Structure 1
Amino acid sequence: MEWQLQDAKNRFSKVVQKARDEGPQIVTLRGERAAVVLSANDYDALLAGRASLVDALLSGPAWDDELAEAVAARSKAPSRDVLF
């Protein structure tokens, strides 16, 4: 169901209840979709199975031996002059 922003503000508890009972509720601003109110269960389902940022970074491509050796062999000294 679609709600104009003013109606959604005035009847917010009704919008939330309908989101829980009937599914996502669309809020419009000047006739354009502006927001969607979801039940907590719908929101959790939307996020389920989604990798975290850490998982995404750790699941990147594996390093080949040449790259791993180049990283291990690089100088441990700072690459810039450090002024204190």
Structure 2
Amino acid sequence: MTNNHWAVQDAKAKFSELLNACLKQGPQVVTKRGHETAVLITIKEWKTLKQLAKPSLKSLLLSEEAKGDLILPKRGRGLARKPIKL
């Protein structure tokens, strides 16, 4: 492990140490086969990030604010295409 990077096997074997490092030094990165794969952060940081995150399109569309009356024109009142003569 270097500075704030932990190999996954070290993170598993020394989880208490990893957690303490997170609390004292900030985010700790876990690597797998040399690639950064996860980050351990404090719950305070996690809650801050969640509050700052913009809502997803799905959550916007499903929100109460998005629901409303959709006014649709009556059928047969719109413009119709003329049939194509062959």
State the Cα distance separating 1:52 from its structure 2 match: 5.5
Would you say how many aligned residue pairs link Structure 1 and Structure 2?
Answer: 69
* Counterpart AA for 1:69: I
Deviations 1:29-73 (A, max 9, x none): 01001111111111111111445668622355x98xxx93218x6
Q: Over aligned residues, Cα RMSD in angstroms?
A: 3.1
Q: What are the ranges of 5 or more consecutive residues in structure 2 without an aligned counterpart?
A: 76-86
Q: Is 1:26 matched up with 2:29? A: yes
User: TM-score with structure 1 length normalisation?
Assistant: 0.63
Q: Moved runs in structure 1, 4+ residues, more than 4 A?
A: 51-55
Find the aligned partners of 2:40 and 2:9 in 1 and give their Cα distance. 14
Q: Distance in 2 between matches of 1:43 and 1:50?
A: 11
Per residue, is there more helix in 1 or in 2? Answer: 1
Which protein shows a greater Rg? 2
Partner of 1:9: 12
- 2:48 counterpart residue number: 45
Q: Unpaired runs of 5+ in structure 1?
A: 75-84
Question: Normalising by structure 2, what TM-score?
Answer: 0.62
Go from structure 1 to structure 2 and tell me whether the alpha carbon gap of 1:35 and 1:49 turns closer, same or farther (over 3 Å shift): closer
